[in-house]
Structure 1
Amino acid sequence: MKSKYSIFILFFCIYSMSVQSASKGGNMITGVVLEKETHTPIEYVGICVYLAKTDKFVTGTVSNANGKFTIQSLPDDMYYCVLSYIGYEKQKSASFTVNESQNIINLGNFYLITSSQQLNEVVVQGRRSTYTQGIDKKIFNVGQDLMSSSGSLSDLLQNIPSVQVDVEGNVSLRGNENVQILINGKQSTMMNARTRAEVLQQLPAGDIERIEIITNPSAQYKPDGVSGILNIVMKKQRKVGVNGNVMANIGNEGRYNVTTSINYNTGKINLYGSYGIRLDRRDRITLDDRIKNDSVLSYISQHTDSKAHPLSHVIRAGIDWNFDSSNTLQLSGAYNHRGFLREENTLTTNRDDAEIITYNANRYRHDDEKTNQAEGNAVYTHLFGDNNELSVDYSYSILEGLEDNQYTTNIYSTTSETKDNSQIWQAYYQHLFRVTYNRTFNDKIKLTMGYEMDALQTDLNYHFQNLENGVFVPDMQKTNDFTNNQLNNAIYATLEYKVGKFGMLMGLRPELMNIKSHLFSLDSIVSNNYFMVYPTLHTAYQLNDNNELQLNYSLRVNRPEADDMNPFPEYQNPLSLRAGNPYLLPEKIHSIEAGYQWRKSATTILGTLYYRYTADKLTTVTKYLDNSILLTTKENLNSSQSAGLELIINTDIKKWMNINLSGNVYYDQINAEKLGYGKNKNNIAWSSALNANFNIFKGAMLQLNSRYTSSSLLPQGKREGAFITNLGAKYEIPSTNLSIMGTVSDLFNTFKKIYTIDTPQLKQRIEQWRNPRIFYIGIIWNFGSSQHNDKQNLKYDESL
């Protein structure tokens, strides 16, 4: 009871501080940015302030979700503003003066016009991924990155600084796979740990508008994920009338994909929709060599050759309805169907200590998977009073999938054959409800308060049958059903305060978590309920026009998902089982970051020092069940800590080249004493990435992406380094709305995943690689009422 009263007092103090500080003044300018034809707000428009007499840059900011911007603490003088945004013509304000008698200037509404409307030109957008730094996030506007034209979302993420993607599609942020991925700022059943990698490799990158990297999220976000949040923001056209595009690509090994989108905007109502189909080829080879060192030595070698042809259909649709200047309703929905046909052969060879073959068999797998995912979302926003906003948000998401496996095992030594089948049913049902209140008191104070309810049910059912006398008979020893329910109730508050060159965003998020796992086969229920308060603090100080410092802290959590807690094993490979642990504890992470940003003209340098301490760290552990069967499961370590330095450099070389170079070096230390693997194991790891765009001649661009990740530490061994290089080219055909492009993934055929286990009882090396070099050639066609072709000149739009 005392803790509840304490939370109430803290929230009251935050609100009181905001009210008391609201009366303080200072020189400031405000304004609102709208799309000219539709009068809808535009977010992330760059606003730069210049001295009217010398044209010297003074300061800048970006517009918020309502199109509003505020710049404060301007010295007495005469200024003008320049507004810029990708796809829209730059706009310059009239000159204005701020002084003691005119210390608050409202510049009114700015109406941006699309570049093609005003100049009758084709605007080649997104020659590079435009970078924007906020107090609590980094934003990468995708533009028309070549991977966004032909590749999947997984391919696109490889081009984002700080992000790594391995050969299986698993995503890491600063070397850590415990990252939370949101779609339009919300959780989705698509992004659960079991299916996320597959979904990312099938979603079309052409549907993505921008990617937000939030390594130390504020209290407004759920605190899940060790390394932070990746927020995937989907495209939504704003142009008036009917507009759209079609992207079509054909690749080697039978690959193809087509994505089309269209919107109709009257100004008051915006209707939009898209459809994408993608046929991929997913071939994988896995080598698994292990040595068991028990009373006697034994050797096991497995060679797996897997071929798959995933086919996906993705449909999105929605409506934005502006009733009036104060009330907006947004309705949206999406449907994703994936079919996945896989054929796999696993050759197993066992040898004794004299290296004489004792077992030799091939296990054939025919897997017909089908997954259906759908979600709906409704958001109502009401503006009232002076700078008050209330929004109510509800979304429902569902994912259901069936994996139908048919196995045939041929044992060569005895010429015998066995058959068995398995059906794995997975289902996720999620309700998300949020109420958020925003109040902007003045140019210095902004308050956000809200409530969030997140309810998730996960069903994992494994059913097995063995062929006996020509009939498949249920295997009740392996068959099991598992359901996990998680209910999270949270309230949150953030207070943003700006004065002079200093900015601060502090927040508090109390959460009550209820978890219940039902093990039906064992007639057992495992519960875990806990209450936690997650504080956050973000500060920024602008040294001068070009230099800024940041210091951030957050307390985060990494909660085990249902798949991590399901104790019943899968039997895909009889010698390598995987199972969860229902008694896992959540990780608690203390995260601190100190950042420095230097920006001048077209060059930005961002350096970040970070430190993370993790209690009850989750890890994967592999151990023997008997003489030959390995079980991989999850356990809690004592703790871990890591510290690193990340550096990102983005610059233009004249008008023909843009380079984005990033690097990350970090120190890892883990305490696995309670698992018997040592108290202080440590390692230094690093990664680097290069994204370069070359404007060869008018309308033609060449793009090179390369990434290297060094080896990293595991409790029982290490993960080897990985290297990949991608190449692409694009040409805008003059006097048309057509573009042609081509891409090559893994140019040097080096992309692999290798990890080793080295313990007294087990030495294992697993190496996996995909089919080499993926080629695509394609075409992009833009159409709509805002397109003009009477005088077209190619223009590079590299503004923020």
Structure 2
Amino acid sequence: MAFLPSPRLVSTLGLLIGTSGFSCYSPALAQTATSPAHQSPGTMAPDIVVSAQQPNVETGIDRKSYAVARDLQATTGSVADVLRNVPSVSVDVDGNLSLRGDSNVQILVDGRPSPQFNNANRAAALEALGANGIERIEVLTNPPANFKPDGSAGVINIITKRRNGSHAASLQSNVGSSGRFNLSGTGSVQIGKLGLHGGLTLRRDLRVRHFSDDRTVTDATTGAVQSTSHIVGNASDSRLAKIATLGADLDLSNVDRISAEGSYNARSDHSTFAETATEGLNSGLSQSGRDRPGREQEISNSAMLRYHHDTEANRNGITLIAQRAQTWERQRFAITNSTILPFADPTFQNQNLYRNQVTREISAEYVGSLPGSAKLIAGYNLQRDDTLFDNGQTLPAAAGAAALPDTNFTNIFRYGQTIHAFYGSYERPIGAWTLLAGVRLEQADITTHQITSGQRGGYGFFRAYPNLHLTDKLSPHQTLSLSYGKRVIRPDPEDLNPYLVQQDPYTLRQGNPGLRPQEIQSFEAGWSYDKGATSRSATLYLRSARNAFTITSTPVSPTVVLITEQNLGKSLSGGLEVATAGKVMKGLDYTLSGNIFYNQIDAANLGFTGTRSTFGYEAKGALNWHMTAADTLQINLATAGKRLTPQGYRRGYVVMDLGYRHQLRKNLALTATVSDVFSSRHDGLIVDTPTLQEVTLRRQSGLVASIGLSWTLAGAKKKAAEKFDYEK
């Protein structure tokens, strides 16, 4: 379908280009002013009845919301599988998430932080959690002030399915290749003024990966080669996740509601790891092997109590929240080291890694209407984090010998953080424009205690995080958007621990107590067109960072590399993101999105001269063929180009997923999916420095196939539409 930009669009873009040097951001593929997803955070939806089908993509002044019902991977796959198909989002072979090429993303579940998704092990959590309970994914690249400012790339908010009637139930059962399966059920019931809802999930997943590492260490002065190594191996993880959720809403009156929610998530992981290393030194050739079977356990639980008082009969009012979340994780490995050339008897050692994180929060928020259709949000949030690390490792010992502690890798470390935050946000229409402006004021105090060595540290800082959003309704089908935000990345507690952790005989990891928060300023401008089934959008974005984090690799011997994090200095990134959706013909529709970006890194403190820069790209698309009223075939494609890192780059990839759904009955569907059809999902990292040249490749082993049944039962709907609250 052809379309032309409106005269107002041409003149406005001309003004923007002339005054700011850049234009365009995307409010995007569709827009609904009354959707609960786009009401002001912290509010409750008005009592309305919604009978229309929810759009696949909705755009608000501060976010984009993607419904996942049409993504067939959502029926049988994990959260990581679904996020791979969301525009702007990428997930690598290990489950690591990035947004517009930036891995510093804050993940929320129903508007609240979840510790399991915001720590060093969140990749495994994303791959272990089934996606069939997800309603939609919200992406906020410049979140407003009532969201926490953590994460340079922005926020991904996972909205779960909730009750939509006086009583409702659903069941899903899936089986997949290599023993994978998923059983889950949800239900809700309304008893007078009391509403209850809950769910149970049991999911088993298997992840098999092959890896290789080729490394050359050279002398910084002479340039002579000191050593070469070639490492190949396999790793597998058999994960079993058990999840339970329970919630209740009690209406004390027409204007007062008390809500309580709790969740329990237990994940166990049985892993195998085997590698063979061939090393070339000045003294000759050697070969060794390493087996590291292990077991990992992670248990997360959370509890939330919420009180809301409606002051204006439109769900605006006062909200008080108290919540607590805890995640503890234990990893145990039994390691066998073998020497093949020259031959020697094997040695044995154990490694135990323990982490316990507790987060407590209280918050108060007011949402009210002002004259001129304006809205005010004001609030306070107090957050306290306490994290304990207890790491232990034994010295290599012969069979039958006593296992003695290795003091180089055995230590206890404590971390504490307290954040006081005051925020305010103001929204109002001004003619054809809508303004949303706010600021968040935070005082953060951090303490560290390396108990084993007696080292204490800490620091505090006060920061203001302003944000601004503007949208202009150029015509009934075209919208212009502008936004600005300031954000922060706080160091992970583990990255502040100065003690060493041995990842393998050739790689050590060490925290940096001097690591400081990274600060980011983000600018966006864009345009969108939406009419019927056709939508188009384009976004220009720019991010400037100081004290940027980077993982560096430094040789500490001819055969061992030390990995740590440093404040890089400055970095500049930006790009153009485009998206389009529509129908090719009756029964055949498509979605396409792409991102062309530029990275510039100041790497002078890493031994390079000046800056390093590169261009890269990401693209993905889906084709949906509705063969009959009951049959749908789906094809998903994703590709990415080379991406710059401070000491090298990451390789690109091309991946295809397939899905098929047959509607057996109105409330019963059969779904089959195949993920990574050509086994092409991989992660390649190249390091090229004056002293270290390294090529690391990790590849997923084979495609993943699943087939499953989904059944739903819904009772009479309530008057009120589904309510989603956004507590930050």
Same-fold call, TM cutoff 0.5: yes
Structure 2 matches for 1:257-656, cutoff 5 A?
257-266=182-191, 268-294=193-219, 295-352=224-281, 356-357=284-285, 359-385=286-312, 388-412=316-340, 413-442=342-371, 444-466=373-395, 467=397, 470-656=401-587
Matches of 2:416 and 2:467 in 1, distance apart? 28
Structure 2 matches for 1:637-676, cutoff 5 A?
637-676=568-607
Q: Is the CA contact 2:38–2:60 (under 8 Å) kept in the aligned structure 1?
A: no
Matches of 1:231 and 1:273 in 2, distance apart? 20
Matches of 1:369 and 1:109 in 2, distance apart? 46
Matches of 2:645 and 2:482 in 1, distance apart? 30
Matches of 2:380 and 2:40 in 1, distance apart? 24
Structure 2 residue 134 is matched with structure 1 residue 208: yes
Q: Is the CA contact 2:226–2:558 (under 8 Å) kept in the aligned structure 1?
A: no
Q: Which is further off, 458-467 or 215-224?
A: 458-467
Q: Is the CA contact 1:292–1:298 (under 8 Å) kept in the aligned structure 2?
A: yes
Aligned residues: 677
TM-superposed deviation, 1:268: 2.5
Residue 49 of structure 2 aligns to a residue whose secondary structure is: strand
TM-superposed deviation, 1:414: 2.7
Structure 2 residue 659 is matched with structure 1 residue 728: yes
Identical columns (%): 30
Structure 2 residue 154 is matched with structure 1 residue 224: no
Q: Is the CA contact 2:294–2:331 (under 8 Å) kept in the aligned structure 1?
A: yes
Distance 1:364 1:512, change over 3 A: same
TM-superposed deviation, 1:63: 4.1
Aligned to 2:648: 717
Distance 1:472 1:539, change over 3 A: same
Matches of 1:672 and 1:739 in 2, distance apart? 53
Matches of 2:49 and 2:226 in 1, distance apart? 76
Matches of 1:620 and 1:474 in 2, distance apart? 28
Matches of 1:60 and 1:585 in 2, distance apart? 41
Select the residue among 650, 673, 691 that pairs with 1:743. 673
Q: Is the CA contact 1:677–1:715 (under 8 Å) kept in the aligned structure 2?
A: no
Q: Which is further off, 453-462 or 385-394?
A: 385-394
The two structures have a TM-score, normalised by structure 1, of 0.82
Distance 1:696 1:514, change over 3 A: same
Q: Deviations over 1:437-490 (max 9, x none)?
A: 011124521000000111111111111123366221222232111111111110
Residue 475 of structure 2 aligns to a residue whose secondary structure is: coil
Distance 1:547 1:239, change over 3 A: same
Q: Deviations over 1:666-708 (max 9, x none)?
A: 1110111122223211000110010221111111111111111
Residue 82 of structure 2 aligns to a residue whose secondary structure is: helix
Distance 1:623 1:134, change over 3 A: same
Matches of 1:569 and 1:377 in 2, distance apart? 37
Q: Is the CA contact 2:243–2:263 (under 8 Å) kept in the aligned structure 1?
A: yes
Matches of 1:362 and 1:198 in 2, distance apart? 26
> 2:94 is matched by which residue type in structure 1?
E
Structure 2 residue 49 is matched with structure 1 residue 111: yes
Q: Is the CA contact 2:255–2:313 (under 8 Å) kept in the aligned structure 1?
A: no
TM-superposed deviation, 1:786: 5.1
Q: Is the CA contact 1:444–1:499 (under 8 Å) kept in the aligned structure 2?
A: no
TM-superposed deviation, 1:109: 6.0
Matches of 1:63 and 1:713 in 2, distance apart? 39
Aligned to 2:725: none
Distance 1:549 1:586, change over 3 A: same
Q: Deviations over 1:308-327 (max 9, x none)?
A: 21111111111122222201
Q: Deviations over 1:11-45 (max 9, x none)?
A: xxxxxxxxxxxxxxxxxxxxxxxxxxxxxxxxxxx
Matches of 2:420 and 2:606 in 1, distance apart? 33
Structure 2 residue 621 is matched with structure 1 residue 690: yes
Matches of 1:264 and 1:109 in 2, distance apart? 19
Q: Deviations over 1:565-597 (max 9, x none)?
A: 122222230111122211111111110000111
> 1:656 is matched by which residue type in structure 2?
G
Distance 1:63 1:632, change over 3 A: same
> 1:702 is matched by which residue type in structure 2?
L
Q: Is the CA contact 1:506–1:537 (under 8 Å) kept in the aligned structure 2?
A: yes
Structure 2 residue 88 is matched with structure 1 residue 162: yes
Matches of 2:597 and 2:695 in 1, distance apart? 24
Q: Is the CA contact 1:238–1:265 (under 8 Å) kept in the aligned structure 2?
A: no
Q: Is the CA contact 2:165–2:714 (under 8 Å) kept in the aligned structure 1?
A: no
Q: Could you list the runs of 5+ residues in structure 1 that have no partner in the other structure?
A: 1-47, 49-58, 70-84, 86-107, 116-124, 788-800
Q: Is the CA contact 1:299–1:353 (under 8 Å) kept in the aligned structure 2?
A: no
Give 1 or 2 for the bigger CA radius of gyration: 1
Aligned to 1:62: 34
Residue 175 of structure 1 aligns to a residue whose secondary structure is: coil
Structure 2 matches for 1:2-41, cutoff 5 A?
none
Q: Is the CA contact 2:503–2:509 (under 8 Å) kept in the aligned structure 1?
A: no
Q: Is the CA contact 1:182–1:229 (under 8 Å) kept in the aligned structure 2?
A: yes
> 1:668 is matched by which residue type in structure 2?
N
Matches of 1:353 and 1:765 in 2, distance apart? 21
Structure 2 matches for 1:751-790, cutoff 5 A?
751-785=681-715
Which structure is higher in RCO with an 8 Å CA cutoff and minimum separation 6?
2
Aligned to 1:796: none
Matches of 2:50 and 2:544 in 1, distance apart? 46
> 1:675 is matched by which residue type in structure 2?
L
Distance 1:318 1:533, change over 3 A: same
TM-superposed deviation, 1:654: 4.3
Q: Could you list the runs of 5+ residues in structure 2 that have no partner in the other structure?
A: 1-29, 718-728
Structure 2 matches for 1:170-249, cutoff 5 A?
170-241=96-167, 243-249=168-174
Matches of 2:590 and 2:372 in 1, distance apart? 36
Matches of 2:40 and 2:561 in 1, distance apart? 58
Q: Is the CA contact 2:267–2:297 (under 8 Å) kept in the aligned structure 1?
A: yes
Matches of 1:536 and 1:329 in 2, distance apart? 31
Residue 154 of structure 1 aligns to a residue whose secondary structure is: helix
Matches of 1:767 and 1:276 in 2, distance apart? 34
Residue 473 of structure 1 aligns to a residue whose secondary structure is: coil
Q: Is the CA contact 2:245–2:262 (under 8 Å) kept in the aligned structure 1?
A: yes
